[in-house]
Amino acid sequence: MAVKALKGFKDIVPGEVETWQFIEATARDILHRFGCSEIKVPILEKTKLFKRSIGETTDIVEKEMYTFSDRNGSSLTMRPEGTAPVLRAYIENGLHAAKPIQKLYTIGPMFRHERPQKGRLRQFHQISVEVLGTDLPRVDAELMAMAALILQELGLSASLEINSLGCPSCRPDFNKALLDFIGTIDDLCDDCLRRRQTNPLRVLDCKSANCQAHYRNAPSILDHLCPACADHFSAVKKGLDLLAVPYAVNPFMVRGLDYYTRTTFELLTTDLGAQSTVGAGGRYDGLVAQLGGPAVPGIGFAMGMERLALLLEEQGDGLPEPELDLFIAAIGPPAQDEAFRMSHALRSLGLSVAMDHQDRSLKNQMKQAGRAQARFTLILGDAELEKGEAILRNMASHDQIAVALGGELSAWSLALADKLFD
Ligand code: HAM
């Protein structure tokens, strides 16, 4: 029996990959406009990097990581997200010393052993962005505006929800209020009972309808922010207003990763069936120091590329088909040899060129040219070689002109390229 791909791991085949390329090119273009630089980091890291950053009691670390011992017995993990590896690289390569504010992005696969479903895979891809070295509220607003612009330029819409999770000086106060509130509920689910002990904030993210009904009356973290965090959050909202980015405040938004402080946000869509998050992020002012680096603040977000691709496909407008500049229809071995040399010379000049290598009929080759959306077809057979003239056909207008053959191949190719782009 043929060997199949792993469950939750997907090939991205031609026909789909063009959507991915469009997403990536659009995102890169915008990221560069905002001064972000690409960083490429390994897929495999020491397990302790994720335990220390994402948090020991999160779902990701507790049950979703692909962790194994390598041949030396070291515990390694396939990255479940991009922030921790990028921060490790930032510290290890002394990037903080090179530039006081670093804006870094990385695009690539992440791995989480989740239950696969539409828009949720075990190997998925993120466009992940981190801005390190500043905690100015305008940076938060600008980052969210950039995320919104990526969606806008992809032709997608999503709603932005924001919250503040406070800082180490105000979070304990909120945790206490939350624990007092939870203590008044007597029918919590097992997950919430466990989280109450390990990570109280995470109860707010419970999927059980019964727990959620209780949490509608839970205390709001926004009422427990210290003055510095409250001022920061007001300034972030003002920044979004100045940039005319629409948002809603959701005081019950908690994230599945423990490193967040202050601003957190999610970009949500209902176009993928149930409500789904296409992107999410937030501030993590203590994380770089916690990972052994300097005490610099940071903020970032990541977008799920599978979800973006699904949205684009469901929207159904389709992407423009890639065009072929020229199809060379050659009949008979001498013409095929000539066409073989011409194709390579023209491709070296930057043109996209295709030809048939299977000695098919002219009719069949013209069909291939049509299917490939060729702008032009060059037709040559024994008669054309003898006459020293091939036929150049404009596939849209059906106009045909004679093109002289012969002379030096590179000069001939340049002259033909001129004709195609006339
Ligand atoms: P996250 O919320 O875990 O954040 O993931 C960000 C996005 O990745 C999600 O909103 C979703 O679109 C996509 N995603 C997550 N898991 C899956 C999956 N199993 N299948 C498909 N897509 C998925 C982070 O990863 C943080 N590192 C974001 C961040 C960067 N925060 C600060 N900097």
pLDDT of 320: 63
9 lies in some domain: no
Of 158, 93, 139, 180, nearest in space to 310 by CA: 158
pLDDT of 271: 80
The strand pairing partners of 261, in sequence order, are 283
Domain range for residue 47?
17-170+225-315
Our mutation pick for probing the ligand 1 site, out of 81, 106, 287, 301, counting the most ligand atoms within 8 A of Cβ, is 81
Domain shared by 295 and 364, yes or no:
no
Relative to the CA of 277, which ligand 1 atom is closest? Answer: 10
SS3 176: helix
Question: With 90 as the cut, is the pLDDT of residue 168 above it?
Answer: yes
Question: With 80 as the cut, is the pLDDT of residue 319 above it?
Answer: no
Q: Locate 177 and state its tokens.
A: 């209020």
pLDDT of 186: 87
pLDDT of 322: 67
Question: With 90 as the cut, is the pLDDT of residue 227 above it?
Answer: yes
pLDDT of 317: 63
Q: How far is the CA of 144 from the centre of ligand 1 (A)?
A: 15
For the stretch 354-366, pLDDT in tens is: 999 999 999 999 9
Output the residue whose Cα is nearest ligand 1's atom 2.
Answer: 280
Which residues contact residue 338 at a Cβ distance below 8 angstroms, ignoring those fewer than 6 apart?
Answer: 330, 380, 385, 405
Domain shared by 329 and 311, yes or no:
no
Relative to the CA of 83, which ligand 1 atom is closest? Answer: 27
CA 348 to chain centre: 32
| Last residue within a domain, chosen from 261, 290, 315 | 315
Domain shared by 92 and 159, yes or no:
yes
Pairing of strands 37-38, 102-111: parallel
Q: How many structural domains comprise the chain?
A: 2
pLDDT of 205: 86
Q: How far is the CA of 383 from the centre of ligand 1 (A)?
A: 62
66 lies in some domain: yes
Q: Are 416 and 403 in contact (CB under 8 A)?
A: yes
Of 53, 415, 98, 402, nearest in space to 261 by CA: 53
Q: How far is the CA of 393 from the centre of ligand 1 (A)?
A: 50
CATH code of residue 370: 3.40.50.800
Percent of the chain with pLDDT over 90: 87
Residue 270 pLDDT class (50, 70, 90 cuts):
confident
Domain shared by 129 and 36, yes or no:
yes
Relative to the CA of 80, which ligand 1 atom is closest? Answer: 25
Domain shared by 237 and 306, yes or no:
yes
Q: How far is the CA of 411 from the centre of ligand 1 (A)?
A: 52
In this prediction, residues 109-128 reach a mean pLDDT of 96
Domain shared by 229 and 85, yes or no:
yes
| Last residue within a domain, chosen from 268, 297, 315 | 315
339 lies in some domain: yes
Domain shared by 261 and 351, yes or no:
no
1 lies in some domain: no
The Cα–Cα gap between 35 and 129 comes to 11
Which residues contact residue 60 at a Cβ distance below 8 angstroms, ignoring those fewer than 6 apart?
Answer: 50, 54, 80, 81, 112, 256, 257
Relative to the CA of 257, which ligand 1 atom is closest? Answer: 3
The Cα–Cα gap between 95 and 176 comes to 38
Pocket of ligand 1 (CB under 6 A): 81-83, 112, 114, 119-121, 124, 126, 128, 130, 256-257, 277-282, 300-304, 306-307
pLDDT of 196: 87
Question: What's the pTM value of the predicted model, to 2 decimals?
Answer: 0.90
Of 322, 339, 321, 341, nearest in space to 330 by CA: 339
Of 94, 159, 103, 90, nearest in space to 129 by CA: 103
pLDDT of 119: 92
- Measured between its terminal Cα atoms, the distance across the chain in Å is 54
Our mutation pick for probing the ligand 1 site, out of 113, 130, 159, 307, counting the most ligand atoms within 8 A of Cβ, is 307
248 lies in some domain: yes
Q: How far is the CA of 94 from the centre of ligand 1 (A)?
A: 26
| Last residue within a domain, chosen from 280, 297, 315 | 315
The Cα–Cα gap between 328 and 354 comes to 6
Output the residue whose Cα is nearest ligand 1's atom 18.
Answer: 120
Question: With 80 as the cut, is the pLDDT of residue 273 above it?
Answer: no
Domain shared by 303 and 397, yes or no:
no
Domain shared by 287 and 344, yes or no:
no
Domain shared by 85 and 231, yes or no:
yes
pLDDT of 321: 65
Domain shared by 331 and 308, yes or no:
no
Of 384, 383, 403, 381, nearest in space to 392 by CA: 403
CATH code of residue 276: 3.30.930.10
